[in-house]
Amino acid sequence: MARLPGTEGVGEIADRIRARRGGALRPLDQMLLHSPQLADGWNSLLGAIRQRMALPADIRELVVLRIAVLNRAPYEWTAHEGPAREAGLGDAELAALREEKPELGDVRRSRVIAYTDAMTRDVHVPDELFDALRDHFTDAELVELTATVAAYNMVSRFLVALDVQVPTGNARTGGGS
């Protein structure tokens, strides 16, 4: 049970969130709408990360699911498993993400996981790791990758701290954060 009740979400800000979500508010949105201005900024940031960046969807979803594992955020995993599969991640990759040291068999994705782990666990990223990522991503993509890791750490920590739950009976919340 969530630590706070969700809100119904009325008004212009809630309508903008519904528009991005395809018409329905998620439990995360209902919690954020206790502070409409926060919800509005959150919607803008996460909308940009999910819909307007050059970073490939498979990389974004790989990051999100890894953060869900590291931060023990089941809502985030449930919300993003479907989008991850749609982006091309398969059963073996999803299972590997749950391991202490994921073996993905792909250098680019393995480096993304190492970067995600460093940012999430230690905050500090070793120079060698960042330099290795430069072989695979443009400067813009590196900024987007970094912002994605940072943003989804925020999302997962918000969800966990307020104990936001996936609605009973839903296989997934649909559409991610």
Q: How far is CA 17 from the centre of its chain?
A: 17
The number of beta carbons lying within 10 Å of the beta carbon of residue 95 is: 10
CATH topology of domain 57-161: AhpD-like (1.20.1290)
pLDDT bin (cut points 50, 70, 90) of residue 2 is confident
Residues in the chain: 177
Least confident residue range of 40-49, 110-119, 167-176? 167-176
Domain ranges of the chain: 12-51, 57-161
The reported pTM is 0.90
Say if residue 17's pLDDT is above 70.
Answer: yes
The tokens describing 128, both together, are 């060698």
Whether the Cβ atoms of residue 45 and residue 96 lie closer than 8 Å to each other: no
CA angle 50, 55, 56 (to 5 degrees): 90
User: For 82-137, how does the pLDDT look when each residue is reduced to its tens digit (9 = 90+)?
Assistant: 999 999 999 999 999 999 898 888 999 999 999 999 999 999 999 999 999 999 99
